[in-house]
Every structure is written in C-alpha cells, then in structure tokens.
Structure 1
Amino acid sequence: MRIYFRLLVVLVIVTSVIMGCTKETIINKEVKAISFSYQDGTPALTASKIAMENPILDKYIDINYELVKSPDLLVAKILKEEADIAIVPSNLAAQAFNKGLSYEVIGTSVWGSLYLTSTEKINSVEELKGKEIYSFGKGLTPDLVFRYILNENGIDPDKDVNINYLNAAPEVGAVFLSGKSNLAVLAEPLLTTVMMKKEDAKVVLDLNKEWEKVTGAENGFPQASLIIKRDLIDNNLEFVKNFIKAYEESRKWAGENKDKLAKYAEELEISVNRDTIEKGITWNSMETFNIKDCKEEYEVYYNAILDFAPDFIGGKMPDEKLYFEK
C-alpha cells in the first residue's frame, strides 16, 4: 500500500512539473510582430475591414497595418523585404521574385481599373487615331496596358496618337475637368470623382475589357496583388490561411458595403473622397481572388510585359514558385 502511495505521490509531482513547465513555456512565448503594408487608394480600400477591425488570427502574432501614401516608399519596403505581407502592383511581385526576394503571390487584390474617359462619342479603339490623349504613369502599368491595347488594335502609340503624360493621376483628372483635355485615361476611384463633377463625361473604353479582347485573359489584367513572405508561409501556415480568409472577406465586403466602407476609409485616413465611395466605385472581377483561379491571367500579363517592356518584371518570366498553392 505504501508503495502505491509513493508511486502516486511521484506521479503527482512529475505531472505538476510538466504542467508547470508547459504553462511557463506558454506564458513566456513571445508575440511575433509582422507588418502588412498596402498602398493608398483602391488597394487600401480592399484591406479596410481587416485593418479597422483587426481580428485575432493567431494569439502569438500581432499585425501592424501600414497605409503607405507613396508608391516609391512601397517599392522600397518590398525590395528591402521590410513588409511581411503587402498589396503591390502585380509587376512588382514578379520583379521582386526575379531579384531572388522571398515573396509569393497569394491572389489578385485589384483587377484592372483603368478607363478611357471622354465627353465625345467614341465606339472603338480604332477611332482614337489622330487624337490627343492625357495619361499618367509613363512606363508603368497604366501606360503599358494602354499602349499594348493600342498596338494590338493596329495603332502605333508613338505615331498614330499623341499621348500627353502627366506626373500623377490627379493631374490628369484636373486637366480633364478643366476642359483642356477631352480624352483621358483615369483610374478608379478618381474616375467616379471626375464623373460626379462633370456630367457629360462618360467611359468610352474599359481597358480591362479591352485587355480581355486582345489577350483572351478571362478576368482582364491583375493590377494589384497580395503577396506574403515565404518564411511566414513555411513557419506559420495556419496563421497565413487565417489571414487569407480574413482578407478575402475584407475585399469582398469592400465591394458590398459602400456606406460603411466610406466610414472606415475616413477613420483609416485613406485618401479616397467619402462621397466617391458612397456614390459607388467600379470593381472589376471582385469575386476572383485566389491565384489558383487566375494564374493564367498572370502568365498572359507577364508575357505581354516581357514582349513589350521586359524590365518592368525584372527581364524574365517568373517560374511557378512565385505562386502560392494551398
């Protein structure tokens, strides 16, 4: 009987030590801080719900939501690998990959949201011959996409039209509103703002749809992508899956709740006019997000860039390792 009693005492002591050690390990486990960076404008709107509500996705991971006002600053953060998660121009995702940086594309945050706007009636790309068109982002996505569409429709962008480049999208909007320009490439959400102020303005070409016509890509072109560091995926896969699910919900919510989105955007200091959001932004392919559903569109986009402006993606096609597979 004494032997059984002694064994019971030893068992209790051992169990207490193990439980104590386990409890101490849990208590002393450090919380890991990670950063989620996204550019001001439409990309930030897709992240507004998750940023505002900040759900607990893993009790040992703390997310710092960072709204980046400058595109150049976002590029620097990615090239220095300072952001763990980010929404970036899709060409930057390929460029970073080709530089050997450890990011994977999770899915498409924003599909093409570029539009040719005018006050005159234009029914086709061919009717642009001889026209002066104001645009922005020379050498970047807006320029590349527009020039590619022109070229594929038999229009030489350097000879058959006069593209007048301004430094930034708001400058193009201001020139169009002033009446100095009658044809302008505008992006959402600026498009909605301009059309609210100029009643005779209308979209004459949806460049996402025009891209579909010339490339065959079902959803158009992936303008901005969600990327995540590979080591975060490898070491915290459950958290990554939880984050992806929460972001997908945030992105979908942004397209369905314009009144609350306007409120969140204001509180998060996203520089999109509240009236513009409440009026209703045009969201292309809002349902399509996961890379497994749109890898073909990325390959078409990168191939087009490779033919037209290879430096834009780092000089070569990224391989399959760029894409995240659940």
Structure 2
Amino acid sequence: MMRYLKISFIVLLSVVLIGAISGCGQSDVQKVRVGEVTHSIFYAPQYVALSEGFFEEEGLEVELQGTFGGDKTMTALLSDGIDIALVGSETSIYVYAQGATDPVINFAQLTQTDGTFLVSRDKIENFSWDQLKGSTFLGQRKGGMPQMVGEYVLKQNGIEPHEDLELIQNIEFANIANAFASGTGDFVQLFEPTASIFEQEGKGHIIASFGTESGHVPYTTFMTKQSFLDENEETVKKFTRAIYKAQQWVDSHTAKEIAESIAPHFEDTDVELIETVVDRYKSQGSFATNPVLDEEEWLNLQNIMDEAGELPTEVDHGVLVNTEIAESIISE
C-alpha cells in the first residue's frame, strides 16, 4: 500500500511541476499590440522578424493590426488601442505640436527613404524632371510624408508644384491607383507593389524613385507613448532587439530569400512580384540596417515638412527621439 502511495505522490508531484513550468513559460511571454499604418512589402524587416521567429526569441507575442492612415494610427496609440505604432515620424511632431502631455517617442527606425515611385502613363526613354512641367500630376494626400516628399523632390528639380503643373491631391490614398488607371493624370506617385503591377500590366511605367531623390529620412519608425516606454522599457528593448536582428537578416540575404520569408504575410501576391519589389527597395537602400534614427535624418524630415508648409513647429531631435535603446542593442 505504501509503495502505491509513493508512486501516486511522485506522479502527482510531476504533474504539479509540469504545470508550474508551463505556467511560467506562459507568463514569460508578453503580448505587444502593434498598429501598422498600412500593410506593405515596404516594411519587409518587420515581417521577417515575425516569420523568422525573432520576436518569439525575445519572449514577445506580437499582435499586428492595420490602422490605415497616420491620423487613425495616432488615435489608436493615444487611446491605448495599440502599444506601438509603425508610422511616419511626422505624426509624432503633429501630436507634440498639439500640446500632448504624454508625447509619442520614436525609438526604432524601420525604413530610411521614401517608398514611392514616379509612374508615367506613356513610356519615356530619356526622362528628365522638367518633362513634368505643364502635365497633370496625381500626387498623394496633403500633409502625409509621400506628398511632402513628392513636393520636395519636385522643388529640388526646379519645379514649383502648385504653379508648373496641375497637382491633384484630393483623392483618397486607396483610390489613387484606380484613378490613374481610369485615365486621371499624366504622372502618378505610387507605392509598390502597385507601381510594378501597373508596369507588368502596361498601365504605366516606373521612371524615377522619390526615395533615391530625397535622400535618407525617417520615413517609417516604431514609436510609443512616453508613459508606455517608462513603464515597459524592457519590453521595448526586446522589441527593438528583434527588429535589429531582422534588419541584419534582410541586409545579409537576397531579395529572393527575403521574399520567400515574408510571402505568408502577402498571400494574394505572387512571390516573384514580392521579390521584384524587395529588390527595388533593397537596391536603393530603403530598409534601415539598424534601428537608430540619427539627428541628420530628423533634420532632413523637418526640412521636407517645412518646404511643404506642413511643419507646425521645430522639434529638437532629443525631444521625440530615443536612440539610447537602439544604440544599446547594437553594442551588445
């Protein structure tokens, strides 16, 4: 009888220990809600971090949700609908200028160039920017980074956007491609993969890159409220470490390998098209190779905003940018 009691006790103890271990494992995993301003191949390193398990390695469960637009993304972040936002850095300046008591802090940069391309309706063999003069140009939404960069690049090439061409910027982001396909505009500013799809289907021709023309700028960064950063600094560090691993992975792998890794996140897109888009962005240096948002890029961002008449106030780099976390991760 004593023997059976002893065996039963050992079995019971084993069950308790297994349960305790499982419970510890579950409690160690922290859920992080991330809102992305749009779902795009442009954000390839983020999807690599998901596909290659870099977030899991850090004990994080990332819940990704679309927030569709800078204003909606900021609303979700400020109302605690999400913990971290992936959106253009200009949004943090807009929030700060409105007198936010809990400012939004940029802590990890993901892309470092504009992600749009100039697409012409007709094929142009020897393109020069002055060919846009007198044309109808279908641009992006006023106040957003694509439109501001678009106007900045036009000015850098001697074109006054509101005088030298007919600038259309009152069409919703989701409808811009359809408007061009329906016959509106001689030129259009498009993101990938739409630009490449239009080229494949003969609806347009990629003739220039706004990202190449505008130089390095913190186009999309991960940001969070100062209060969340203060209360969850270790979580933010783990998140940044996973992103840095993904950035290094993207930098050291081919466009084909990257495309195969992120393909599950773009089930409706052919993997060969994903590869074409990744290669285009990778070759022009759009993917940041580390998460540090440096002061030069921050100044370039504000210069672009100022040129477009959209900078509400100048903000010093150290006010809305935290580089300490990214720099500590890189130095590990």
Q: Give the TM-score, by structure 2 length.
A: 0.72
**Structure 2 residue 104 is the aligned partner of structure 1 residue 100:** no
Kindly provide the amino acid, as one letter, of the partner of residue 129 in structure 1.
Answer: K
Among candidates 237, 250, 261, match of residue 246 of structure 2: 250
Contact kept in structure 1, 2:93 and 2:315, CA below 8 Å: yes
Q: Which residue of 2 aligns with 1:208?
A: 211
In 1: Cα distance, 2:236 partner to 2:57 partner: 9
In 1: Cα distance, 2:269 partner to 2:220 partner: 17
What is the identity percentage for the equivalent residue pairs of Structure 1 and Structure 2? 17
Bigger shift: 88-97 or 192-201? 192-201
- Over the aligned positions, Cα root-mean-square deviation in angstroms equals 3.4
Cα distance per residue 1:223-270 (max 9 Å; x no partner): 211213434444444443332121122245456354455455453357
Q: Which residue of 2 aligns with 1:13?
A: none
**Structure 2 residue 121 is the aligned partner of structure 1 residue 116:** no
Q: Which residue of 2 aligns with 1:15?
A: none
Kindly provide the amino acid, as one letter, of the partner of residue 207 in structure 1.
Answer: F
**Structure 2 residue 295 is the aligned partner of structure 1 residue 295:** yes
In 1: Cα distance, 2:270 partner to 2:135 partner: 31
In 2: Cα distance, 1:156 partner to 1:91 partner: 23
Among candidates 139, 160, 167, match of residue 164 of structure 2: 160
- How much does 1:108 deviate? 2.5
Q: Map 1:277-288 to 2 at 5 A.
A: 277-281=274-278, 282-283=280-281, 284-285=284-285, 286-288=287-289
Q: Give the TM-score, by structure 1 length.
A: 0.73
Kindly provide the amino acid, as one letter, of the partner of residue 242 in structure 1.
Answer: K
- How much does 1:112 deviate? 0.9
Contact kept in structure 2, 1:35 and 1:64, CA below 8 Å: yes
In 2: Cα distance, 1:51 partner to 1:96 partner: 29
- How much does 1:114 deviate? 1.7
Go from structure 1 to structure 2 and tell me whether the alpha carbon gap of 1:189 and 1:250 turns closer, same or farther (over 3 Å shift). farther
In 2: Cα distance, 1:266 partner to 1:29 partner: 29
- How much does 1:160 deviate? 1.2
- How much does 1:297 deviate? 1.5
In 2: Cα distance, 1:179 partner to 1:27 partner: 60
Q: Which residue of 2 aligns with 1:129?
A: 133
Q: Which residue of 1 aligns with 2:220?
A: 224
Among candidates 250, 268, 273, match of residue 276 of structure 1: 273
Bigger shift: 109-118 or 68-77? 68-77
Contact kept in structure 2, 1:79 and 1:96, CA below 8 Å: no
Go from structure 1 to structure 2 and tell me whether the alpha carbon gap of 1:88 and 1:180 turns closer, same or farther (over 3 Å shift). closer
Q: Per the alignment, in what secondary structure is the counterpart of residue 106 of structure 1?
A: strand
In 1: Cα distance, 2:66 partner to 2:103 partner: 21
Go from structure 1 to structure 2 and tell me whether the alpha carbon gap of 1:108 and 1:307 turns closer, same or farther (over 3 Å shift). same
Q: Which residue of 2 aligns with 1:86?
A: 85
**Structure 2 residue 34 is the aligned partner of structure 1 residue 36:** yes
Q: Which residue of 1 aligns with 2:197?
A: 193
Contact kept in structure 2, 1:48 and 1:261, CA below 8 Å: no
Contact kept in structure 1, 2:109 and 2:291, CA below 8 Å: yes
May I ask how many residue pairs the two structures share in their alignment? 289
Q: Per the alignment, in what secondary structure is the counterpart of residue 249 of structure 1?
A: helix
Q: Which residue of 2 aligns with 1:240?
A: 236
Q: Which residue of 2 aligns with 1:139?
A: 143
**Structure 2 residue 264 is the aligned partner of structure 1 residue 267:** yes
- How much does 1:188 deviate? 2.3
Q: Map 1:35-54 to 2 at 5 A.
A: 35-38=33-36, 39-42=38-41, 44-52=43-51, 53=53
Bigger shift: 258-267 or 119-128? 258-267
In 1: Cα distance, 2:276 partner to 2:31 partner: 37
- Unpaired stretches in structure 2, ≥5 consecutive residues: 1-19, 325-332
Cα distance per residue 1:141-179 (max 9 Å; x no partner): 222222223234442222210123363456443454566
Contact kept in structure 2, 1:40 and 1:270, CA below 8 Å: no
Higher Rg: 1
Kindly provide the amino acid, as one letter, of the partner of residue 84 in structure 1.
Answer: D
In 1: Cα distance, 2:153 partner to 2:186 partner: 20
Contact kept in structure 2, 1:46 and 1:250, CA below 8 Å: yes
Cα distance per residue 1:175-227 (max 9 Å; x no partner): 54566644221122322222222287232x32223224xxxxxx2x3221121
Go from structure 1 to structure 2 and tell me whether the alpha carbon gap of 1:27 and 1:198 turns closer, same or farther (over 3 Å shift). closer
Contact kept in structure 1, 2:107 and 2:223, CA below 8 Å: yes
Go from structure 1 to structure 2 and tell me whether the alpha carbon gap of 1:160 and 1:67 turns closer, same or farther (over 3 Å shift). same
